[in-house]
Structure 1
Amino acid sequence: MSTLRISCATVNQTPLDWTGNLNHILSAIEEAKKEGAEILCFPELAITAYGSEDLYLSYWYPQKALKQLEKILPYCEDITVAVGLPVRIHEKVYNCMAIIENSELKGFVAKQFMAIDGVHYEFRWFTPWEAHQLIKFDFFGKEVPLGDMIFEKKGIKYGFEICEDAWRGKIRPGYRLKDRKVDIIFNPSASHFAMGKTLQREELICESSKIFNVTYFYINLLGNESGRMIFDGEIMVARNGEILLKNQLLSFRDFQVKTFDYDSDSESHLPIITSLNKNEEFVQAAALGLFDYLRKSKSKGFVLSLSGGADSSTIAIIVAEMVKRGIKELGVDNFLRKINLDFSPKSSHPEKEIVGQILTTAYQASENSSKSTFDSAKALSESIGAEFLNWEISQEVKSYTQKIEKAIGRKLNWEKDDLALQNIQARARSPIIWLLANLKNALLLSTSNRSEGDVGYATMDGDTSGSISPIAAVDKYFIINWLRWAESHLNYTGLKMVNNLKPTAELRPLENQQTDESDLMPYALIVEIEKLAIRDRRSPVDIYLILKDELAIDNDLLKSYVKKFFRLWSRNQWKRERLAPSFHLDEFNVDPKTWYRFPILSGSYEEELKELDTY
């Protein structure tokens, strides 16, 4: 019987934070040693952080990563450690796992397939390694092997599939590892978070353990490394098609270590039953994203223009949950230290006190704002403990409109100047909320959502203003339903008034009874169109033909909605190019920097939309 005690470590890293990244790795090695681990595997690119972008293309950055690896060696006595880093060979950079045993570098395994879909652009930086190829690499005067190879410990053979390697079907490295009769496959990954994605991974890892007849270890990075992608820090072990170990996802800790006793003769274990709740995943990921963004940007808190509506209220709740969840996992003192807040709570339940220190909300009323949205914003802000401010922007709007009226020689009116009069109200709010954020050295939170990004239903330099846009990758229909869930399941009674309001921009006179869906179309329909248009890349005619059989909508009305979506989508790409950085939270998003590129200038689907009229 052959046994090995194996640890997997997820780490929350940051590009260019060499000392912090190294300390996380060394702390994880120390903890694994205390647990008696004989092998410890980290995620890919753990030394540098995955999100290093074009730093990988420099000569000095991969070289410094090698020097960091050299610093790790002395801490690896009596243990085998696999850790990821970039390795440059002449003009090419390779994504590698370094394998250290008893403080000696045994070699590098190089990634064979690059992720190039969705949020990933790995071919920009890395060159795929060829199967079976093995070379000698000069590691500070010592030649070590680099390439496609396997290792052995205590008679147990193991190899690697590095992240994307495992998603390549019949050509993946796992088949060659099976031919080499490995017992264990490690999958060190930097796999971005998306709601529901853990189920896809479970299926892949369970199936892999059966196909290759191995114990399969999956180790993912953790946290919001560099601004947009969030990693969930997932660790899983599977054998015979069953999950044997799974950790808590989306931890607020700097690292997690999970240890597993591998037994080559063991046939079965009790399976791990995993439950998935998309609402819970969303709030945990967004809360972790804000936590990391706050502390890594070294800001002093958040400022939020709280309208009383769904989007800004969602973000307020996420901040409150960030505090609640951070305290629960880290403890009050450690949480406050992490966010650099010098504050001593007086209460034994200090969540509201801390929210009051880091979140400032402001209701900015125009002449078209209602009492119901003011009451909604005030009630929610007070219920979570945030500082609540309010003021009117009527004087600023009047000043702008009078100046332009004088310049053009006529009065503005709602019949002729509807869009301009709406936008000036949204834009008038921006300078003063930025002023407040600057005064507090805080991050301004932008409130636009993905549905608004689709159709440009947001004012550039108005409600799109912000340092970070936490929900820009989430559709409005999901947000509306999530708020109801949060009221009942997270016990935010302050959401009651929010959930009783219809989404509205409140930019036209109140007697117009403006609502978002009357301006656009039902949010549930936008979701269906965008999935087909953006995620599945279907044409307007395809979308119409699919939806007319699925939805109980008049055919002419459905055509008009499809046309409206594509026309608005095309003319508003410039807005999406300028949106504040957003978290990738769903299976797809519309951020051209992370998921979907589209020309700023185009023919706006004119021929394709005319074709609709023939059906």
Structure 2
Amino acid sequence: MKIAGATLNQIPLDWKNNISNILEAIEEAKKQKVKIVCLPELCLTGYGCEDLFLSHWVSENALQHIFEIKEYCDDIIAVIGLPVIVDGFIYNGACVINNRKIIGISLKQNLAKDGVHYEPRWFEAWPAGVISTISYDNEVIEVGDIIYETDGIKFGFEICEDAWRKDKRPGYSLCHRGVNLILNPSASHFAMGKSELREHEVVIEGSQKFNCVYLFVNHLGNEAGRMIYDGDIIIGQNGKLLAVNRRLSFKNYNLLSCEVDFKNVGKSEVLKSDDNKDRNEELARAVSLALYDYLRKSKSKGYVLSLSGGADSSICAVLVAEMVKRASSELGWPQFCKALGIPEQDVNENWKKAVNLLLTCAYQGTKNSSTATFNAAKTLADSIGAAFYEWKIDDEVISYTQKIEKAINRNLSWEQDDITLQNIQARARSPIIWMLANIKRAVLLTTSNRSEGDVGYATMDGDTSGSLAPIAGLSKIFILQWLKWAEVELGHAGLNPVNNLQPTAELRPLERNQTDEDDLMPYGILAEIEKHAIRDRKSPKEVYTLLFKKFGEDERIKVYVKKFFRLWSINQWKRERLAPSFHLDDLNVDPRSWCRFPILSSGFTEELASF
């Protein structure tokens, strides 16, 4: 039997877009003589509808559209994800259509409720082993924990989170009931390295444990703004990997089909894959896709960036350039230009000309800025073709400073007003770069990273000013190594001056030799503390003990751990105000998509006094 997974790039409640992608994928599956095609979880509505799922009309509209879609499902079994109302409650379902007839809707039994997921807010979990019915348009449809059969092959479902609950996997019951094929329609968010986990823990382990063929299919693209989906399609059989598609495509859909012999795994088709799971390459591809989707779905005219010559703004610039290079290469220039609304004749198949239309950078210097950072910014912008402006903001800083000095009747000094004098420079840059973004009708990128988010090393309405924060989910130490990798592996020679600079905010006078690590702590130490404190949720004393074992007896470790927790607790209000960011790693500090923390707290007073 030929089976297939089809990944789709959907938009919440964009019925026209979503149905078009669904029908195109089904049509392609029919052309390839596929018997069963599985589409992703909640693909009809989009997974990221958030509290709109609580509106019953959304589920009602989805069911109505399913009845329209089923008429296109002749001579094929198609699985389409949608929300379903049963007895007044909303469930996460996978509708099975066989030759224009709905033969059942399987319902999700385990809801994702950690990290970026909040499914129990919207859906109920369906009890294992239970089958009920719903009625629509004079038809009675079975819903629940259903086993289906076609051509002597029994199949059933694990829906995304179902497969990650090792002790509650529906697969155990499906195996006991004689199922030969398990389908897993998912909306599994991207994180570097996660695809390998899916292959081994979900598909290979699942197919071996349940003695079956296992098909996993994920969503694709930046669906709703924050989460990125990599479009993973994985097929395994009895512990053997049969097929894996190339992830992170810029296309509206991808389909991967495979001929499977259910009786003899040795006779099943094995497809070669060219998917690259290197973390640096994964990051480049994921953020490129996320930026492309954000631009076309928001209908903005490009990106604007305050390019300082430092690592954070530089990685943002390079990722926009990579977006242009990768999307145009895969889609072709006509489709790329049409999607982003730029004249094809102005680009003339030149990626740097396209970058020039889509990315505008400005170096906003002060008397505390160095020629090294200006040269780094200018060199990088020129190397990728970005539009580049340069101006000074000293007049604005002087104006604000003189006004406050007059109001409080004293002069400000670096000895007494260090933070104030630093922050006014960062904030003075904000209004004019926003002006440029408004003029361009573009998205203003903020350049704060995750390490800064941890400890509040960012100026509100300064370097956090903007509407999208593409690197807020990345640690500084990862960014620094990625830039060196990109200079060599991606050929961005314009990064060389950036990679030879030590990270600095350049907000104090140059003779004070300000560096980020002097202000905070070594980035390697910060990343280690973050891993244990935030990802693993260890107490301050436990974190100190773990670092003590790794780095040995060093009084500075105690100072750094206490400083981290102190700064973490007093800067939650800053994290609450971060621009929307992408989830890219196994943690992030965005309270709207991963880590929640009280704005007001004890600040770990007792815990920090215990060691």
Q: Indicate whether 1:322 and 2:323 are aligned.
A: yes
Aligned to 2:421: 421
- Tell me the amino acid that sits aligned with residue 574 of structure 1: W
1-structure distance, mates of 2:17, 2:169 = 34
In structure 2, relative to structure 1, the CA distance for the partners of 1:371 and 1:527 (3 Å cut) is: same
Which residue does the alignment assign to 1:557?
556
Q: Secondary structure, in 3 states, of the residue corresponding to 1:538?
A: coil
Residue aligning to 2:296: 295
Tell me the distance in 2 between the aligned counterparts of 1:524 and 1:281.
22
Moved beyond 3 Å, runs of 4+: 269-275, 345-348
| SS in structure 1 at match of 2:610 | helix
Structure 2 partner of 1:468: 468
Quote the offset at 1:139 in angstroms: 2.1
The correspondence of residues 171-570 of structure 1 with structure 2, limited to 5 A, is 171-204=168-201, 205-268=203-266, 276-345=277-346, 347-348=348-349, 350-552=350-552, 554-570=553-569
Structure 1 residue 276: deviation in Å?
2.4
Query: How far apart are 1:266 and its partner, in Å?
Result: 2.4
Residue identity matched to 1:112: Q
User: Unaligned 5+ residue runs, structure 1?
Assistant: none
- Taking the aligned partners of 1:394 and 1:115, their CA distance within structure 2 comes to 50
CA RMSD of aligned residues (A): 1.1
CA contact (8 A) 1:243 1:272 kept: no
Q: Name the amino acid aligned to 2:297.
A: K
Counterpart residue number, 2:587: 588
User: How far apart, in 1, do the equivalents of 2:215 and 2:159 lie?
Assistant: 11
Counterpart amino acid of 2:280?
N
Deviations 1:217-255 (A, max 9, x none): 000000100010000000000112121100011111100
CA distance in 1, matches of 2:125, 2:238: 30
After superposition, the Cα gap between the structure-2 partners of 1:395 and 1:519, relative to the gap in structure 1 and judged at 3 Å, is same
1:24-35 map, 5 Å: 24-35=21-32
Tell me if the contact between 2:333 and 2:344 (Cα under 8 Å) persists in the aligned partners. no
1:343-376 deviation digits (Å, cap 9, x = unpaired): 414645x100000000000000011011000000
* Further displaced range: 415-424 or 332-341: 332-341
> Which secondary structure state, in structure 1, belongs to the residue aligned with residue 259 of structure 2?
strand
Equivalent position amino acid for 2:591 in 1: P
Corresponding letter in the other structure for 1:212: F
Inter-partner Cα distance in structure 1 for 2:541 and 2:193: 29
1:289 maps to a residue whose letter is A
CA distance in 2, matches of 1:410, 1:242: 75
Deviation sequence 1:250-272 (CA, Å, 0-9, x none): 11110001111121232236585
Are 1:243 and 1:271, in contact at CA under 8 Å, matched by a contact in 2?
A: no
SS at 2:128 equivalent? coil
Q: TM-score normalised to the size of structure 2?
A: 0.98
How far off is 1:6 after superposition? 1.1
Alignment of 1:161 onto 2:158 = yes
* Contact persistence 2:91–2:123 (CA under 8 A): yes
Structure 2, gaps ≥5 residues long = none
| One-letter identity of the residue aligned with 1:588 | L
The number of equivalent residue pairs is 607
Alpha-carbon offset, residue 333 of structure 1: 0.7
Work out the CA distance in 2 between the residues paired with 1:436 and 1:208: 52
In the other structure, the counterpart of 1:148 is 145
Question: What one-letter code is carried by the residue in structure 2 that aligns with 1:162?
Answer: I
Distance (whole Å) between structure 2 residues aligned to residue 561 and residue 136 of structure 1: 59
AA at the equivalent of 1:197 = K
The SS at the match of 1:169 is coil
Q: Distance in 2 between matches of 1:134 and 1:477?
A: 51
Deviates more, 1:263-272 or 1:401-410: 263-272
Pair 296,347 (structure 1): closer, same or farther in 2 beyond 3 Å = closer
37, 40, 49: which one aligns with 1:40: 37
1:506 to 1:302, Cα distance in 2 relative to 1, 3 A = same
TM-score, normalization: structure 1?
0.97
- Looking at structure 2, the residues matched to 237 and 149 of structure 1 have their Cα atoms a distance apart, in angstroms, of 21
